[in-house]
Structure 1
Amino acid sequence: MKAEGKEEEFSSDLKAVHEANLYIMREIDKLSKRHGISYRMDSGTLLGAVRHRGFIPWDDDADLLFRREEFSKLCAVSAELPEDLKLLLPWELRKGRAFYDFVPRILYLRSRRHGEESAEQEFYEGKLNHLWVDLFILDALPDNPFLSALYRFRQKLVFGLAMGHRMRIELSKYKGLQRLQVLFLSGIGRLLPMPLLFRLQERWAGACTRACRRSGRKTKRSYFSNYQPDFQHCTVENTWEEPYSPFAFEGERFPGPKNWDRVLRMLYGDYRRLPPEEERRPSHSGQIELWESTEREERREEQ
């Protein structure tokens, strides 16, 4: 990524994309250490750390995980991030009237995923047209099997309702009964104000976490409360999680779970096996544009 001043450079080079994502991760890590905020790598980033000691070669984003109380701490100090990074909360799209998903993100503002404007970019005010790091939230899950299933069902339900406020729903991704469910829930969701659905998701997702905080007790398991519906089955034993320990990642070190093998097997099954070559492609399409200030170029040269 080379530029003079704010001159722009288009790149589909994943090496440059990984470098930008590593910069975001590094700044989040510095901020977290400064304020005693606990977090870990998650999903494909954790898989990359274990299997590749860095990014999955064909991946183009990064995933971090915070327990709810730790994420609240991050939000409180996010203004301390460098000026080219910004925390985007899900309800900040179109003043809370639009929906993409329930995942907060740290955006790299000196990037664009697509050089040309599109209806979708305009609908989301251009806020999603950047490289970003996804921030997933881990919440306590009730020990009671019925309540555990209810909590995860509610997250699927509110996601389906919220889809009614997306710019478009790609129905080709869904088949049979699932397609009917998406049509039914999104149709009802259009009749409900999106701010209400955001409040419901927050209240339901963190209900057990807040109850545990009030009572001082702990549950045995936790779940990823802002994962998409098809991953709401994912849960972890709390004994797999803390204390987090450092993992080698692209020549640096970032935290991961204590029992990373169990976490990865829960998420991916046989995670050591590489996917077929035709599936080894970035998850986000488009030519990525990256540019940097002269100040950051000079700082890198000094390092």
Structure 2
Amino acid sequence: MLSENVLNDYTEDWVQRCAKSDCVRFDILKRRGIMLFCEDKQIKHTFENIFEQKDVYCTDVPLSGNEEVLCCRFSFCEGVVPSAEIFPHILITDIPAEAEKYRDKCAVLYTGRIFGAGFIHSRTPRENSSSVIHDVFNAALFMASRKNIRNGVYYCGFGGCNIKAKSLMSGGFEHLLSYEDSIFMLDFSKKHGDKLFCFDNTYGGKLSLLHKSLFLCLNEFDRICRKNGIKYYLGGGTLLGAVRHSGMIPWDDDMDVMMLRDDYKRFLSVVNSEINSDEFFFQSSETDSEYHSIFTKIRLNGTEFKTRFSSRFGNMHQGIFIDIFVHDKTADIKALQKLHVFLTLFVRSMVFHKWEGTPMHFYGKLKLLCRLTTLFIKHTDIRTLEKIQERTVTFFDKFPTHSLYDGTGEHLRHGAFPAKWLGRPKYLRFGDREYPVPSNYDKYLEYSYGDYMKLIPASLRKAGHDVVSVNFGKYGE
């Protein structure tokens, strides 16, 4: 039996995924009639829980990147056969006879055998005529957002259908979940009725072993910093995990630390002499000729964590790693902050495209400038480009400003934040011990993630790296 907290988590996942589905045209969807005529009582119960009113439900949730308000009329038949007066645009049913009966009167979404995670009705899925609960509501919205959907029977399941029906896939519908992920979520919900869901089956079911390996790298970094009195903080998802979970985010597959530039310079001056080189490797463009990321890493020797991108460089160290990011000063004036962010993004892109060996592009913008820049980077060695990059990122470090930005990290586009948010480190439990975090970690996490205590949808809780091979070496024995 599922706990209420877990059941709400699965239901919220369903709502969030459907509300942001790319295949639904929310600019077209206005006020449409959708009727549920379904024998599955749990489906009806779930719909009633989702909709605040039985007839009309409106939400101000951002939908597919726009702020359109969703207005959709839902009715529940409750055993009453639809009449001409109340006939909907779309009828949702799991009853074959009803789908056949109304195929010439409206667009019918035939669900087949509905299954899904976190719901009492969940059944053993079949590849033939099966629909995931995530896709039932999503498919109804997809149909309602078509301008001129014809009468007939449609289905959104995997494989074939046991009655004559058109697959919505051929019309552009996209499943929110793969068949394999659906099965895993279903099994997880049956085995762990009181545990919030995540895909803990990544890396051959050895995600926990990866976490242990990451802690080895973190503790070596921490040892060097403590010994030499160097200040640092947990950063990114690692900081989020410490605050929200008191440990790793359960589905995360990397660790981040962050430093101020002066502390980072001190770290660089001692790391090569201090690091236990039998176990670890400090990776930078200076220590690894094939590595050119703007941030550095500590790698675990004798292991492998090879991504689709990194696998292109056969001589690069590819062990399990933690990332080391640097926060630099930026201007206190907003216009100069924006210019600094833009220039940083641009020069970072130059280095990356030189490293990758691809033409310069900048998010599909500034095409003429990108063509000219491609010619420039083609005839410029990568070391020179990296020097331009470092000078750009550190430009304001010589000025007495009070603002920082994430010049080497993924939150660069968020712009500047007050330097005082980092301040004197506090210590929070992260796994088995305590590590340093920003003095105002609440503000910093809001800057990075918004409502950081809200979990992402359950079905998106997956490891993020595009990994092609993992080897734990002696640490997997």
Q: Tell me the TM-score normalised to structure 2 length.
A: 0.52
Which structure 2 residues correspond to residues 197-276 of structure 1 after superposition, within 5 A? 197-209=385-397, 211-212=398-399, 218-228=400-410, 231-276=412-457
CA–CA separation in structure 1 for the residues paired with 2:309 and 2:451: 39
CA–CA separation in structure 1 for the residues paired with 2:442 and 2:420: 12
- Tell me which residue corresponds to 1:63: 256
- Tell me which residue corresponds to 2:265: 72
Contact 2:337–2:416, Cα closer than 8 Å, also in 1: no
Residues 234-264 of structure 1: CA deviation (Å, up to 9, x unaligned) = 4321121111111100021110001111111
Residue identity (%): 23
CA–CA separation in structure 2 for the residues paired with 1:175 and 1:219: 30
Consecutive unaligned residues of structure 2, counting only runs of 5 or more, are 1-202
- Tell me which residue corresponds to 2:299: 107
Q: Tell me which of 118, 121, 129 is aligned to 2:311.
A: 121
- Tell me which residue corresponds to 2:221: 28
Instruction: Kindly report the root-mean-square deviation, in angstroms, between the aligned alpha carbons of the 2 structures.
Output: 3.0
Residues 204-259 of structure 1: CA deviation (Å, up to 9, x unaligned) = 211211x13xxxxx32211111125x733343211211111111000211100011
Shift of the alpha carbon at 1:164?
A: 2.4
Match of 1:238, as an amino acid? A
CA–CA separation in structure 2 for the residues paired with 1:282 and 1:180: 37
Shift of the alpha carbon at 1:156?
A: 0.9
CA–CA separation in structure 1 for the residues paired with 2:381 and 2:311: 22
- Tell me which residue corresponds to 2:283: 88
Residues 81-114 of structure 1: CA deviation (Å, up to 9, x unaligned) = 11211111135543xxx66531111111121024
SS at match of 2:456: coil
Q: Tell me which of 297, 310, 319 is aligned to 1:130.
A: 319
Summarize the Cα distance change of 1:278–1:188 in structure 2 as closer, same or farther, 3 Å threshold. Answer: farther
SS at match of 1:55: coil
Q: State the aligned residue count.
A: 272
Contact 2:414–2:448, Cα closer than 8 Å, also in 1: no
Summarize the Cα distance change of 1:61–1:186 in structure 2 as closer, same or farther, 3 Å threshold. Answer: farther
Contact 2:304–2:472, Cα closer than 8 Å, also in 1: yes
Structure with greater helix share of residues: 1
Summarize the Cα distance change of 1:225–1:288 in structure 2 as closer, same or farther, 3 Å threshold. Answer: same
Shift of the alpha carbon at 1:76?
A: 1.3
Question: Relative CO higher for 1 or 2, CA cutoff 8 Å, sep ≥ 6?
Answer: 1
Match of 1:25, as an amino acid? L
- Tell me which residue corresponds to 1:156: 345
Residues 24-77 of structure 1: CA deviation (Å, up to 9, x unaligned) = 111111111110100000010000001111111111110000111111111111
- Tell me which residue corresponds to 1:3: none
Contact 1:68–1:139, Cα closer than 8 Å, also in 2: yes
Choose 85-94 or 154-163, whichever is displaced more: 85-94
Task: Indicate the structure (1 or 2) with the bigger Cα radius of gyration.
Answer: 2
Contact 1:12–1:288, Cα closer than 8 Å, also in 2: no
Summarize the Cα distance change of 1:184–1:88 in structure 2 as closer, same or farther, 3 Å threshold. Answer: same
Match of 1:192, as an amino acid? T
Q: Tell me the TM-score normalised to structure 1 length.
A: 0.79
